[in-house]
Amino acid sequence: MIKYFVYVLRSEVNGRLYTGSAVDPDLRLEQHNTGKSKYTKSTRPFKLVYKEEYNTRSDAVRRERFLKTGKGREFLKKKLG
């Protein structure tokens, strides 16, 4: 069974968080850190600071969208300090 993950990266340049979803969050981290993601290319390197596992892609995407809202960012701020 394929697992899906929601992940949160922190830029080591400016401290900003980037939230995404993927089957392999470690591979995505590598892609972000090697400049293969246009959106995050200028703020690398990144560190993986949080991840959650889901059984379906739709659940992971739903959670990713929530974490990008005001309440989701509040949750991450409490969780990550």
Whether the model pTM is above 0.85: yes
Q: For position 81, what pLDDT does the model report? A: 83
- List Cβ neighbours of 56 (8 Å cut-off, separation of 6 or more): 4
Q: Report d(CA 5, CA 27) in Å as an integer.
A: 12
Which of these CATH numbers, 3.30.40, 1.10.3470, 3.40.50, 3.40.1440, describes 4-80?
3.40.1440
Q: For position 18, what pLDDT does the model report? A: 96
pLDDT along the chain (81 residues), means of 10: 97 96 97 93 96 98 98 97 83
Q: Report d(CA 3, CA 26) in Å as an integer.
A: 13
Computed over every residue of the chain, the mean pLDDT equals 96
Q: For position 52, what pLDDT does the model report? A: 98
32 CB neighbour count, 10 Å cutoff: 23
Q: For position 9, what pLDDT does the model report? A: 97
- Domain range list for the chain: 4-80
- 32, 39, 36, 28: which is closest to 4 by C-alpha? 28
